[in-house]
Amino acid sequence: MNLEQLPVLQQLMVVLAAVALFTSFVLLEQARLVSAIHAFAWQGVLVTLVTVVVASSGGRAHLFFSAALTLGLKALLIPWMLHRLVRELELDRHSEPLQRPALVIMAAVVLVIFSYWLVLPIVQQELTFTRNIVAVSLAVVLIGLLMMVVRKQAVAQVLGFMSMENGLFLAAVSATGGMPLIVELGVAFDVLVAMVLFGVFFFQIRESIDTLNVDRMNRLTERGDDA
Amino acid sequence: MIRAVYITVATPLAGALVLAGVRRLAVAGWLNIMVCSVTFVAALTLAAGVARDGVVAGSGFRIDAFNVYLLVLTAFVGMTTSVFSRPYMRHVCISGRTTERGMRLYHVMFQAFLFTMLLALSTDNLGVLWVAIEGATLATVLLVSLYRTPEAVEAAWKYFILCGVGIALALFGTVLLYFAAQHVVTDLSMGLTWSTLYGVASQLQPSIMNLAFVFLLVGYGTKVGLVPMHQWLPDAHSEGPTPMSAVLSGLLLNVALYAVVRLKMLVDGSLAVTDSPHLAGYLLMGFGMTSFLVAGLFLHRQRDIKRMFSYSSIEHMGLMTFAFGLGGPLATFGALLHMLVHSLTKSAIFVTVGHATHIANTQSIDHIRGLIRTQPAVGWGLLLGVAAIAGFPPFGVFTSEFLLLTATMQSQPWFTLALLTGLTVAFAGLFRHLHPMVYGPAPVGQQPVPANMLPVMIHLGLVLWLGLSIPAFLASWLDRATGLITGIHLL
């Protein structure tokens, strides 16, 4: 497809979404938790920017509200809560490099290609612009998923989860111009409650296994039953 | 009539808020029962209204023949479980497994969970449906870890993460659905309402709907407990408090399946004119059959009684998913009936299992012995419950499974063999564990516990009634739901 033929605002949107995808990679590879939280916050800022661009191009007033919601929730509140939790759990110096960084990054690249392949049917309706955005947001979702698989640290897994939510939000805003307001509010509420509960769980996990490395939680397997 | 919807949905929410402030445990237990009863009465009124008017809709809610029977079922099982949970949780609290704060959390979350279930069932908006089902995870996850043992925390974390991821994929599917709707629906604020989408389903882009349905099925399928996304289910059921297991198995799985079926109706409408009109059905059949067979095999190797029955839940959910995938009026009627009888039977079983674990003071199947000797009510309750769930006549599960077998023989004869094998395997799996638990001598010093078997008797009585003769009003009710889902009436 030819990017130059798109209106300037749409080009801007694609670029911002691409940078958001880039932050997903940064997030995936970050060894230190604090830096990962920062990368996540920047991703939130980028999603907000996309929302603002869509709002100003489409004239949908309620999108300004959801932009404010994203900024408040994804770029400020959740990173702040995570920051505080990390400090309380004394994990600010914690760093855990990826086991096989090259392999993981390759897997992420494959996921991006897979996302493009998956949304191929949509291109048949000449919605090249939307296809790009949907593919990019799906890639953000899948990389978040990958992060939850490869990271063994509970906080990092939560970051993966939250970055999945970012991808979903990106898809909703850029492909469809934002979900109906009541849905958006509901989703934001759920994400916020989930974050609070994650915080509770960090302490419960550490209380029960003395670490936040969830790989150590292996009491409940089918094999364990035979023991 | 719309007022009855408000009351049904809002009562548990109000109950949760009030219970948050009640410190006295004795009061909270009774209050919990009262709130649930009010909800149940409101749901019955609503059902009467739907029976009269056909559809009750307004301000984002829409109650038709399909969801109204699930609403009544949800409110009913919620009520009987609250009756069971009062003495049960008191026993838990006295034995020191949880604190008074934990008990308050339990009561609040029990009501919050019922609220999300009823909201998910009654809303017309697919986005709100998503929010409610995610809310159900959030409400129950702290209860799974209520006992704070390492196992419970692990189960809760697994539940949280797996269901969180699954449900996130379902949201992506919802976004795609909304995207497809944008080309068709003029008023965008109605772009996610099910009734609007159903009206224009044939115009929705098949390619997008296909993609959306895969995400939605994997997402909500995680909550249904379909293999291979079922990993959270046995853990969450076995480690959480027993009343929670009863409502998770009896209600949450049903509601998630309800969401899948609603979405299948949209996809079927969209794919009707393409060259693969039954794609959604085939997907459901595949996932359903796999879950059914795999869970049946896993029944054999369980050591934990609650884990065993959670695998039985997966098995039955697989069977229903398969039947909904099969389509056709007979299979759909059977699946709807099976949803009903499975819910009633399984929650009755979990209630009995709760008492049995208190008698034996363990959840390990090897150490639960001689229940009939120690406490005949519990022993016989478990025996009859398992006989019912395994599909023995004259219980209702037999009727629905028989209908499903007939429907399978009609449209996909080869699957009959797999179904019969699966049913036999599951039957053997359940009974080889059951036999030593209920019969035989009781260990020395095993004492009866204060048990309220009334909910179990009511549930099993209803299942028996449904097996002997389905009352006319219920049959016509299910038939209307069948007509709604398949477009063809059975009766």
Establish if A145 touches chain B: CB-CB under 8 angstroms. Answer: yes
Residues A225, B301: C-beta atoms closer than 8 Å: yes
The mean per-residue pLDDT over the stretch B82-95 comes to 90
- Residue A174 pLDDT > 90, yes or no? no
Q: Is B458 exposed, middle or buried (0-12, 13-18, 19+ CB in 10 A)?
A: middle
CB contact under 8 Å between B142 and A193, yes or no, is no
Chain A residue numbers with beta carbons less than 8 Å from the beta carbon of B182 are 176-177
- A213: pLDDT strictly greater than 90: no
For residue A198, the chain B residues in CB contact (below 8 A) are: 160
Chain B partners within 8 Å of A127 (Cβ): none
Most confident among A2-6, B21-25, B169-173, B484-488 (mean pLDDT): B169-173
Which tokens go with B401?
């499974």
* A95 pLDDT above the threshold of 90: no
Instruction: Please give the average per-residue pLDDT across A138-145, as a whole number.
Output: 95
Task: State which amino acid sits at residue B236.
Answer: A
What residues of B are in contact with residue A219 (Cβ under 8 Å)?
A: 150-151, 154
Q: Residue A219 above 80 pLDDT?
A: no
Most confident of A39-43, B92-96, B438-442: A39-43
Domain boundaries, chain B: 338-491
- Phi, psi dihedrals of residue B63, rounded to the nearest 5°: -115, 120
Indicate yes or no: CB of B125 within 8 angstroms of CB of A182.
yes
pLDDT value of position A225: 45
pLDDT over 80 at A121, yes or no: no
Residue pair B290/B227 in contact by the 8 Å Cβ criterion? yes
Measured between alpha carbons, how far is A194 from A88 in angstroms, rounded to an integer? Answer: 19
pLDDT in tens, B424-443: 999 999 999 999 999 988 88
Q: Which two tokens stand for residue B18?
A: 């009030």
What is the per-residue DSSP string for B290-355? HHHHHHHHHGGG--BHHHHHHHHHHHHHHHHHHHHHH-SHHHHHHHHHHHHHHHHHHHHHHHHHHH
- Which residue in B has a C-alpha nearest to residue A200's C-alpha? B142
Domain ranges in chain A? 3-226
- Average pLDDT estimate for B127-145: 93
A36 — pLDDT class (breaks 50, 70, 90):
very high
Which residues, 6+ apart, have CB-to-CB distance to A8 below 8 Å? none
Q: In the prediction, which pLDDT does B393 show? A: 87
For residue B61, give the 3-state DSSP assignment. strand
Q: Does A212 touch chain B (CB under 8 A)?
A: no
Inspect the interface and report whether the beta carbons of A219 and B307 lie closer than 8 Å. Answer: no
Beta carbons of B150 and A200 less than 8 Å apart: no
Does the distance separating the beta carbons of A208 and B154 come in below 8 Å?
Answer: yes
Supply the pLDDT for residue B487: 87
**Does residue B58 sit in helix, strand or coil?**
strand
Residue A5, chain B, CB below 8 Å: the answer is no
**Chain A residue closest to B188 (CA)?**
A180
Distance CA B391, CA A154 (A): 43
Name the average pLDDT for chain B. 92
Identify which of B390, B466, B385, B372 has the alpha carbon closest to the alpha carbon of residue B426. Answer: B390
- A72: Cα within 13 Å, side-chain hemisphere: 11
Q: Which residues pair with A213 in a beta bridge?
A: A153
Contact (Cβ atoms closer than 8 angstroms) between residue B244 and residue B143: yes
Using a CB-CB cut-off of 8 Å, the residues of chain B touching A176 are 175, 178-179, 182, 191
User: What pLDDT shows up at residue A226?
Assistant: 40
Q: Does A12 touch chain B (CB under 8 A)?
A: no
| Cα B134 to the center of its chain, rounded Å | 15
- Say yes or no for a CB contact (<8 Å) between B175 and A175: yes
* Minimal-distance CA residue of chain A relative to B364: A225
Contacts (Cβ under 8 Å, ≥6 apart) of B145: A201, A204, B152, B153, B155, B156, B157, B239
- Round to whole Å and give the CA distance between A128 and A123: 6
Structural contact between residues B200 and B184, judged by C-beta atoms closer than 8 angstroms: yes
Q: How does residue A125 score in pLDDT terms, banded at 50, 70 and 90?
A: low
Nearest to A119 by CA among A131, A109, A129, A111: A131
Q: Does A183 touch chain B (CB under 8 A)?
A: yes
When pLDDT is cut at 50, 70 and 90, the band that residue A34 belongs to is: very high
Let me know the angle formed at the C-alpha of B83 by B79 and B85, rounded to the nearest 5 degrees: 110
Interface probe for A, chosen from B144, B148, B149, B165 (most Cβ of A below 10 Å), is B165
The number of angstroms, rounded, from the C-alpha of A68 to the middle of its chain's C-alpha atoms is 18
Check residue B129 and give its pLDDT.
Answer: 96
Q: What percent of chain A has pLDDT over 90?
A: 52
Closest Cβ opposite residue A220 in set B151, B161, B211: B151
User: What's the pLDDT score for residue B97?
Assistant: 85
The DSSP output letter for B441 is P
Residues in A 23-82 with any Cβ partner in B closer than 8 A: none
d(CA A110, CA A106) in angstroms, rounded, equals 6
B72/B357 Cα distance (integer angstroms): 29
pLDDT on residue A124: 61
User: Which of B59, B167, B171, B310 to mutate: most A Cβ within 10 Å?
Assistant: B171
pLDDT of amino acid A128: 66
User: By CA distance, what is B124's nearest residue in A?
Assistant: A183
> Which of A219, A221, A223, A226 should we substitute to test contact with B (largest number of B Cβ atoms within 10 Å)?
A219
Closest Cβ opposite residue A205 in set B141, B142, B153: B153
Q: Mean pLDDT across the stretch B228-247?
A: 92
Percent of chain B with pLDDT over 90: 76
Q: What is the DSSP letter of B184?
A: T
- What was the pLDDT predicted at B389? 95
Q: Comparing C-alpha atoms, which of B491, B485, B487 is closest to residue B69?
A: B485
Residue B167: both structure tokens together = 């449900």
CB contact under 8 A, B127 and A157: no
Distance, first Cα to last Cα, chain B: 28
Interface test with B, best of A190, A193, A198, A212 (most B CBs within 10 A): A190
Among all chains, which residue has been given the structure tokens 């919605």?
A: A127
pTM score: 0.94
Contact B349, B309 (CB under 8 A): yes
Contacts of B141 in chain A (CB under 8 A): 197
The torsion angles phi and psi of B193, rounded to 5 degrees, stand at -80, 135
Selected residue of A204, A210, A212 to mutate for chain B interface (largest B Cβ count, 10 A):
A204
Q: How would residue B6 be classed by pLDDT, with cut points 50, 70 and 90?
A: very high
Q: Please give the single-letter amino acid code of residue B104.
A: R
Binning pLDDT at 50, 70 and 90, where does residue A126 land?
low
List the single residue in B148, B153, B192 with the smallest CB-CB distance to A180. Answer: B192
Distance CA B128, CA A105 (A): 36
Higher pLDDT, A221 or A142: A142
| B161 → closest Cβ in A157, A175, A176 | A157
Over the stretch B370-429, which tens digit does the pLDDT of each residue have?
999 999 999 999 999 999 999 998 999 999 999 999 999 999 999 999 999 999 999 999
Residue pLDDT, tens place only, A63-90: 888 899 999 999 999 999 999 999 998 8
Q: Tell me: pLDDT of B23 over 60.
A: yes
Chain A residues whose beta carbon lies within 8 Å of the beta carbon of residue B236: none
Judge: B301–A200 Cβ closer than 8 Å, yes or no.
Answer: no
Report the distance separating Cα B416 and Cα B407, nearest Å: 9
CA A139 distance to own-chain centroid: 10
| Cβ-based contacts under 8 A for chains A and B | 140
All residues at 6 or more sequence positions from B323 whose CB lies less than 8 Å from its CB, including other chains: B288, B331, B332, B334, B335, B338, B404, B407
Among the residue ranges B30-39, B56-65, B324-333, the one predicted with the least confidence is B56-65
pLDDT of residue A224: 46
Please give the Cα distance from B422 to B408 (Å, whole number): 14
Closest alpha carbon to B36 in B58, B16, B64, B63: B16
Residue type, B128: V
- Distinct helix (H) and strand (E) counts, chain A: 10, 0
Burial B384-418, CB ≥16 within 10 A → b, else e: bbbbbbbbeeebbbbbbbebbbebbeeebeebbee
Mean pLDDT, to the nearest integer, of B335-351?
A: 95
User: CB–CB of B142 and A148 under 8 A?
Assistant: no
C-alpha B485/C-alpha B330 separation (Å) is 12
The residue of chain A nearest to residue B302, with distances taken between CA atoms, is A225
